[in-house]
Amino acid sequence: MKRLLALAALLLPLTAMAAPLGLLTYAKIARGMNEGEVLQIAGPPDSVVIESERPVIIKSYYYFSNNTEPNTTRIIFSGGNVSEVQRDRRF
């Protein structure tokens, strides 16, 4: 739990710099990648949501759309690895 809080504290100041994921970056994200690999490819997310703490932590990274990128991307981690990637068009 302390590690999660430390990670959240580290990511909070970076959220102002977050950018939406373009198609090329989105295509590089694959199931099984760990959080570090995703952060290296995509950069810090706009939002991090922890949905479950026991027995397996489910965490979602959100990269929101903007004027140049109309898609919002959600990367779902289960046990520290990507389990699903969702991409939805937002207006």
DSSP string, 50-91: EEE-SSS-EEEEEE---SS--EEEEEEEETTEEEEEEEEE--
At residue 69, the pLDDT reads 84
At residue 89, the pLDDT reads 87
Task: Give residue limits of the domains in the chain.
Answer: 2-89
Handedness of CA 82, 61, 75, 39 (dihedral sign): negative
At residue 11, the pLDDT reads 55
Class of domain 2-89 (CATH, top level): alpha beta
The per-residue pLDDT of the chain, averaged, comes to 84
Mean pLDDT, 10 residues at a time, the chain of 91 residues: 52 57 94 97 95 86 90 94 93 50
At residue 12, the pLDDT reads 54
